[in-house]
Homo-oligomer: A and B are copies of this chain.
Amino acid sequence: MVLRAESDFEDAGKRRRSPDDDGYQRLREAIVKGDLAPNQRLVEADMSNAFRMPRAAVRTALVRLEHEGLVEREPHRGARVRLVSEAEAVEILQARAVLEGLAARAAAERITRASAAEVRAVLTRQRAALNGQDLLGASDVNAALHAKIVELSGHSTAQRLIRSLNSQMVRFQYRTILIPGRPAQSLEEHSAIVEAVASGDGDKAERAMRRHLTNVAKALESSHREAAGDSAPRRRRRTS
């Protein structure tokens, strides 16, 4: 388990954090990371001394996480880790498709020589990882590529929404990358996206990004039909 402590996607753009807010980050990470199983009850008192933070902090953290869709809270019955169904995962991917499409367009329209080189560099890293059969690394680079494009878009609203959607997808991070042939196709699609963005073609960039994420959604759907009983290990990587 030599994974990066913080993916560059997580904390980017979230400086200036308040004290209890730090607790929120840790709790969130625990859920995203998978330390807290889906449907597990989150008793405030337990969290409080498990994470060594005041109960009030746990409370506010849970409120935020609820709003973010990571936990479910019922009036007098407490909070539990929310399990997102694969139907919902498909919805999330569809939403990501249009939002990242928007971001890709914006990124293309404000591309510079320097930033074009940056995205291309990320793509090169992905190609290298894939050649080296490093699937986990490739998955990381995937995330980095998407994050880079969103960042270059300068579209803070889209960025905020996409980040929120991403955190709900953790359970499905591995599904798609493990499908035979999928990594290669993903590289293909990414390549098209990067070229469109780097060349400043907004229309093409948006189409390429939408096509890519739509394909991911389809791959997820079909993979679900086969591996109904999911017994995949839960670790912390991003889906592409």
State the A residues within 8 Å of B (CB): 16-19, 21, 56, 59-60, 63-64, 67-69, 73-76, 88, 91-92, 94-95, 97-99, 101-102, 155-158, 160-161, 165
Contacts and interface: CB of A to CB of B under 8 A. Distances in A.
A64 B61 CA distance: 10
Contact of A157 (B17, B95, B158): B95
Contacts of A157: 88, 91-92, 94-95, 165
29 contacts: A16-B74, A16-B75, A17-B75, A18-B74, A18-B76, A21-B75, A59-B60, A60-B60, A63-B63, A63-B64, A67-B67, A67-B68, A88-B156, A88-B157, A91-B155, A91-B156, A91-B157, A91-B158, A92-B157, A94-B155, A94-B158, A95-B99, A95-B157, A97-B102, A98-B98, A98-B99, A98-B101, A98-B102, A157-B165
B19 A75 contact: yes
A74 B69 CA distance: 23
A101 to B, nearest CB: 7
A83 to B, nearest CB: 15
Q: Is chain A's binding surface mostly helix, strand, loop or mixed?
A: helix
B158 A161 contact: no
A73 B18 contact: yes
Contacts of A67: 64, 67-68
A68 B21 CA distance: 16
The 9 closest A-B pairs by CB, nearest first: A18-B75, A98-B98, A91-B157, A67-B67, A98-B102, A60-B63, A95-B157, A63-B63, A64-B67
A74 B155 CA distance: 23
A36 B84 CA distance: 36
Contacts of A60: 59-60, 63
Contacts of A155: 91, 94-95
Contacts of A92: 157
